[in-house]
Amino acid sequence: MANTLVQFRAEETMRIKAADICERLGMDLPTYFRMCMSKLIQENGIPFNMKLNKEPENRGLNAMKEASRIAAENGISEMTLDEINEEISAVRR
């Protein structure tokens, strides 16, 4: 398959920021554009979203949020400490 050169104009600051994001994602800007064109054709639209996390992942906080979600789903999110300790004691018996 023959290759062709695709060019367009963009503000230099925009190009620098975009290249920096691509580099942090482990690719260069031309690779990103080839990915976009390939997926655009495959999906007949824009099907993907790639973003860098603004904050580093906090695994401990994420675990606590997941525990809270599970507790709410099971109707036990409002238990007092005494009720929790009673449950633990009952299971240990």
**pLDDT tens, position by position, 65-93:** 888 888 888 888 888 888 888 888 998 88
Q: What is the pLDDT of residue 48?
A: 73
What is the three-class DSSP state of 82? Answer: helix
> How wide is the angle at C-alpha 23 spanned by C-alphas 62 and 29, nearest 5°?
125
Residue 59 has pLDDT above 80, yes or no: yes
Between 84 and 54, residue with greater pLDDT: 84
How far, in Å, CA of 69 to CA of 19, rounded? Answer: 38
pTM: 0.49
Type of residue found at 68? S
Per-residue model confidence as pLDDT tens digits over 7-50: 989 999 999 999 999 999 999 999 999 988 998 899 898 777 76
* Measured distance CA(30)–CA(15) in Å, rounded: 11
Q: What does R_g of the chain's alpha carbons equal in angstroms?
A: 25
The two structure tokens encoding residue 60: 């401990």
